[in-house]
């Protein structure tokens, strides 16, 4: 008989001990029946420039409208003295506007401009910032002064730059901040009699993710890496489609020298009248090269989505808004060229550009999505020529098609068979649904056709009525995801959406990571993704209760996997009911005298509406404790409303 004292490792593990006694509920894990492999892409990330996720967010540029190309050319800028907008002999043809500063002609007057940043320019005490500008001085040497301004309008850092050439040239200085300022400004003024021309005025923290110069905000990119994503989908979302085709995401505009990437409107600027952001644009500074690089740096498979020639169907009823099927050649060529950009030899046109940008090696692209959230017959008829062209040139490329914007219903039922006919490799499903929906869908994939395309749950999130990232939404997702895991033979990818939101600039919620200009917070939903992302296993193990998979009986949801590499058995169990439940985990196949150490990680809250916020970022986080296993049965108590992961390494 078990010595109870021996089995208790920590106080937190009190509820977990080994027993041979029969229990009324037993989860049987068949440890010797090693099931389907789990794809390394299983748990990933969906990125879209919504909620200021790119400019003003992940992309670390602090200056808004740095090239004066917003339709209102001085949007984001405050000018004083003699500042003129011009395009004469512009250095960057795709961003032709720049500013000419001339003397105010009086010792007590000044010429200059200030940038308001994205909801302010934020500085951190002790941090270095790289200011850069393209400039020329037609009439001999001139000087500008760069100042960091705090919320009291005090300049607290100053740096002079001499402009010593009549030719356009890049000037750069690094300035250390002596203050932390949440909502400051950047001011530049002319400090000489001679005037100066300025273009592409930029300010980045030096300490970006992996130290890249045109880099990403470190805390935000690190949060992505910390999920251990298997796949990284970009650039969206509806942004792929655009409000009209003119404003669709055009990857070719997003590569090459950053100064010459043209501005694009952001499709989310006017979408919701109650959350309208007329200053929301895409600089394309975070472009396809940067997305591929980030994927590589995080160890995730890149998954770009390209336009199929349909502008956002929510926003365009008229057929003339879309490209006719017979006119799709340019779009198809864009998809083929993208594959060449990612993988092509450096002697190819697009492979050479990738090499010129700093990455001669292939990005090893394996997946491409065509169309985002399209529906109706207009979608398959456009997808078909893409599939033919991609298959013929790149037969190994995995192609992803869409099942529309809904998790079920007419469009969904129409598109799945169409995707099968077209033999796409994966079908992208989207579901933003209530807690009830998620808890009713635990067995969603149990009956899916095993022979057809695989599933990419490409956008999903639990939407409670108040649209908060609350605990109950995270628990519902955790419970639902046991069904993804159990069906990993056909579910090959899943990505929560959207990823980021600026607390002052969001259009859509819930979102996985929230931030302001200084700090960020990981939602409880993030921690669910992280628990799965770090513990995907390599193979599914059958797990049953009374001979059935556990997908909602008594509010319980469960799945089990084996990580062959580490010989670790991982069981994930959500108790969504209102009462604590006692269970036995029966590791069928473990020796009767098995002995091992295990860890248990619990996400739990009595307050179902609680969220992690910038002020209280750790309201609910996973808590880990250890336990020991002896024998093959482990008795556990699952608290009400909890998600628990048990790991045993033999």
Query: Of the two residues 512 and 645, which places its CB atom closer to ligand AHR in the complex?
Result: 512
Dist. CA 561–CA 648, nearest whole Å: 11
Smallest gap from residue 401 Cβ to ligand AHR (A): 14
Stretch that binds ligand AHR, among 27-35, 53-61, 230-238, 604-612 (CB under 6 A): 230-238
Binder to ligand AHR among 197, 265, 340, 373 (CB under 6 A)?
373
In the bound state with ligand AHR, the residue whose beta carbon lies nearer, of 76 and 458, is 458
Looking at residue 34, the DSSP 8-state letter turns out to be -
**Candidate list 116, 265, 373, 411, residue with the active-site label:** 373
- 428 φ/ψ angles, rounded to the nearest 5 degrees: -85, 120
Preceding omega of 510 cis (within 30 degrees of 0): yes
For every residue of 123-187, DSSP letters joined together read E-TT-EEEEEEEEE-TTS-EEEEEEEE-TTS-EEEEEEEEE--SS-EEEEEEEE-SS-EEEEEEE
Q: Which region among 148-156, 231-239, 349-357, 440-448 touches ligand AHR (by CB under 6 A)?
A: 231-239
Residue nearest to ligand AHR according to CB distances in the complex: 237
Q: How far is the CB of 228 from ligand AHR (least distance, A)?
A: 22
- Spatial separation of the C-alpha atoms in residues 183 and 599, rounded to whole Å: 44
Closest CA to 220 of 505, 623, 502: 502
Name residues contacting ligand AHR, limited to 586-645 (CB under 6 A).
Answer: none
CB of 509 to ligand AHR, least distance (A): 10
Rule CB under 6 A: is residue 411 a binding residue for ligand AHR?
A: no
CA gap 329, 615 in Å, rounded: 51
For ligand AHR, how many residues bind (rule: CB under 6 A)?
13
265 binds ligand AHR (CB under 6 A): no
When binding is defined by CB under 6 A, the residue of 372, 406, 520, 586 that contacts ligand AHR is: 372
Binding range to ligand AHR, per CB under 6 A, among 216-224, 234-242, 359-367, 387-395? 234-242
CB of 611 to ligand AHR, least distance (A): 19
Q: Are 4 and 17 spatial neighbours (Cβ–Cβ below 8 Å)?
A: yes
> Are 42 and 540 a contacting pair, CB within 8 Å?
no
What does DSSP say about strands 513-515 and 500-502: parallel, antiparallel, or unpaired?
parallel
Whose Cβ is closer to ligand AHR: residue 380's or residue 498's?
A: 498
Task: Indicate whether 57 belongs to the interface with ligand AHR (CB under 6 A).
Answer: no
CA dist., res. 117 & res. 114, Å (int):
9
CB of 174 to ligand AHR, least distance (A): 37
Residue ranges in 4-43 that form contacts with ligand AHR under rule CB under 6 A: none
Asked if 76 is part of the footprint of ligand AHR (rule: CB under 6 A), the reply reads: no
Q: Rule CB under 6 A: is residue 238 a binding residue for ligand AHR?
A: yes
Beta bridge partners of 143: 162
Nearest to 281 by CA among 316, 331, 243: 243
Q: Which two tokens stand for residue 15?
A: 């509820």
Please report whether residue 426 would count as binding ligand AHR according to CB under 6 A: no
Question: If binding is defined by CB under 6 A, does position 401 make contact with ligand AHR?
Answer: no
Q: In this structure, are residues 543 and 50 in contact, taking their beta carbons and an 8 Å threshold? A: no
Name which of 500 and 646 has its Cβ closer to ligand AHR: 500
243 interacts with ligand AHR by CB under 6 A: no
The interface mask with ligand AHR, positions 435-474, x = CB under 6 A, is ------------------------x---------------
Q: For residue 498, state whether it binds ligand AHR (rule: CB under 6 A).
A: yes
In 3D space, the residue among 221, 164, 174, 168 whose CA is nearest the CA of residue 202 turns out to be 174
Interacting residues of 530 by C-beta distance below 8 A, sequence separation 6+: 226, 227, 228, 522, 622
Quick note: the x/- pattern for ligand AHR over 501-540, rule CB under 6 A, is -------x--------------------------------
Cα–Cα distance measured from residue 234 to residue 232, given in angstroms and rounded to the nearest whole number: 7
Q: How far is the CB of 650 from ligand AHR (least distance, A)?
A: 41
Of the residues 57, 236, 302, 369, which one makes contact with ligand AHR according to CB under 6 A = 236
Shortest distance, CB of residue 239 to ligand AHR, whole angstroms?
Answer: 6
Beta carbon nearer to ligand AHR, 405 or 552: 405
**CB neighbourhood size of 211 (10 A):** 9
For 504-552, the three-class secondary structure string (H helix, E strand, C coil) is CCCCCCCCCEEECCCCEEECHHHHHHHHHHCCCCCEEECEEECCECCEC
In terms of CB distance, is 48 or 157 closer to ligand AHR?
48
Q: Tell me which H or E stretch contains 265.
A: strand 264-265
- Selected binder of ligand AHR within 56, 229, 230, 237 (CB under 6 A): 237
Which of 302, 371, 404, 405 touches ligand AHR (CB under 6 A)? 405
Is the CA virtual torsion 283, 285, 290, 295 positive or negative? negative
| Cβ 325 to ligand AHR shortest distance, Å | 22
Q: Binding of ligand AHR at residue 369 (CB under 6 A)?
A: no
Q: Which stretch binds ligand AHR (CB under 6 A): 232-240, 328-336, 561-569, 607-615?
A: 232-240
CB burial string 586-617: b at 16+ within 10 A, e below: bbbbbeeebebebbbbbbbbeeeebbbeeeee
Is 485 among the residues known to form the active site? no
Phi, psi of 401 (to 5 degrees): -110, 175
Which one, 498 or 537, has the nearer CB to ligand AHR? 498
Q: How far is the CB of 630 from ligand AHR (least distance, A)?
A: 47
304 binds ligand AHR (CB under 6 A): no
Task: State which of residues 16, 42, 44, 48 lies at the interface with ligand AHR (CB under 6 A).
Answer: 48
**8 Å CB contact between 173 and 161:** yes
**Crossing angle, helix 471-486 and helix 524-533, to 10 degrees?**
20
Could you tell me the smallest distance in angstroms from the CB atom of residue 242 to ligand AHR? Answer: 11
Binding to ligand AHR by residue 475, rule CB under 6 A? no
- Residue recorded with tokens 């108790």: 575
Q: Which stretch binds ligand AHR (CB under 6 A): 53-61, 93-101, 233-241, 278-286?
A: 233-241
Q: How far is the CB of 123 from ligand AHR (least distance, A)?
A: 31
Strands 17-18 and 568-575: unpaired
List the one residue from 27, 50, 543, 648 that touches ligand AHR (CB under 6 A).
50
Q: Which residues contact 425 (CB under 8 A, 6 or more apart)?
A: 367, 398, 399, 400, 453, 454
Interaction between residue 497 and ligand AHR (CB under 6 A): yes
CB-wise, 341 or 480, nearer to ligand AHR? 480
Residues 116-135 that bind ligand AHR (CB under 6 A): none
* Catalytically annotated residues: 373
The residues that touch ligand AHR, with contacts defined as CB under 6 A, are 48, 50, 236-238, 372-373, 405, 430, 459, 497-498, 508
């Amino acid at each position: 008989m078990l010595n109870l004292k021996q089995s208790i490792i920590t106080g937190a593990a009190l509820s977990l001990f080994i027993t041979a006694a029969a229990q009324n509920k037993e989860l049987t894990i068949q440890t010797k029946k090693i099931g389907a492999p789990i794809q390394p892409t299983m748990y990933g990330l969906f990125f879209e420039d919504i909620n200021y996720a790119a400019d003003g967010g992940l992309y670390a540029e602090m200056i808004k409208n740095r090239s004066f190309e917003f339709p209102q050319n001085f949007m984001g800028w405050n000018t004083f003295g003699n500042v003129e907008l011009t395009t004469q002999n512009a250095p960057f043809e795709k961003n032709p506007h720049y500013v000419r500063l001339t003397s105010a002609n009086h010792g007590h007057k000044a010429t200059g401009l200030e940038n308001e940043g994205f909801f302010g320019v934020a500085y951190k005490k002790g941090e270095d910032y790289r200011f850069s500008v393209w400039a020329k001085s037609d009439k001999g040497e001139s000087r500008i002064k760069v100042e960091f301004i705090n919320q009291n309008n005090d300049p607290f850092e100053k740096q002079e730059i001499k402009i010593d050439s009549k030719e356009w040239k890049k000037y750069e200085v690094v300035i250390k901040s002596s203050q932390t300022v949440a909502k400051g400004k950047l001011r530049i003024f002319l400090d000489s009699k001679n005037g100066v021309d300025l273009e592409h005025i930029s300010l980045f923290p030096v300490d970006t993710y992996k130290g890249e110069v045109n880099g990403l905000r470190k805390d935000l990119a690190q949060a992505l890496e910390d999920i251990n994503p298997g796949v990284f989908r970009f650039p969206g979302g509806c942004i792929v489609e655009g409000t009209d085709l003119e404003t669709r995401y055009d990857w070719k505009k997003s590569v090459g020298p950053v100064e010459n990437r043209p501005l694009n409107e952001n499709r989310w600027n006017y979408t919701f009248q109650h959350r309208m952001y007329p200053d929301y644009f895409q600089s394309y500074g975070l472009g396809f090269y940067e997305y591929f690089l980030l994927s590589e740096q995080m160890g995730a498979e890149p998954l770009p989505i390209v336009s199929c020639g349909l502008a956002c169907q929510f926003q365009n009823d008229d057929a003339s808004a879309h490209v006719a099927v017979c006119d799709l050649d340019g779009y198809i060529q864009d998809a083929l060229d993208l594959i060449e950009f990612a993988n092509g030899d450096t002697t190819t046109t697009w492979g050479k550009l990738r090499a010129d940008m700093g990455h001669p090696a292939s990005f090893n692209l394996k997946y491409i999505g065509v169309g985002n959230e399209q529906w109706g017959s207009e979608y398959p008829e456009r997808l078909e020529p893409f599939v033919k062209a991609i298959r013929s040139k790149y037969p190994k490329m995995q192609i992803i098609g869409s099942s529309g914007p809904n998790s079920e219903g007419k469009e969904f039922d129409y598109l799945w068979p169409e995707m099968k006919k077209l033999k796409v490799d994966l079908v992208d499903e989207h579901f933003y649904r209530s807690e009830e929906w998620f808890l009713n869908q635990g067995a969603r994939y149990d009956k899916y056709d095993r022979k057809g395309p695989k599933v990419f749950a490409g956008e999903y999130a639990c939407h409670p009525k108040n649209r908060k990232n609350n605990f109950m939404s995270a628990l519902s997702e955790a419970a639902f995801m046991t069904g993804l895991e159990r069906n990993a033979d056909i579910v090959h990818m899943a990505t929560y959406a959207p990823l980021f939101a600026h607390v002052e600039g969001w259009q859509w919620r819930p979102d996985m990571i929230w931030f302001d200009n200084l700090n960020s917070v990981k939602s409880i939903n993030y921690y669910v993704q992280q628990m799965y992302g770090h513990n995907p296993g390599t193979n599914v193990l059958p797990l049953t209760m009374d001979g059935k998979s556990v997908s909602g009986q008594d509010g319980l949801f469960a799945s089990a996997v084996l990580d062959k590499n580490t010989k670790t058995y991982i069981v994930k169990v959500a108790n969504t009911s209102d009462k604590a439940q006692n269970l036995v985990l029966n590791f069928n196949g473990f020796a009767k005298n098995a002995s091992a150490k295990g860890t248990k990680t619990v996400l739990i809250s009595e307050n179902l509406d609680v969220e992690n916020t910038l002020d209280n970022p750790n309201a609910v986080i996973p808590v880990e404790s250890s336990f020991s296993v002896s024998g093959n049965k482990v008795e556990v108590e699952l608290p009400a409303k909890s998600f628990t992961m048990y790991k045993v390494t033999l």
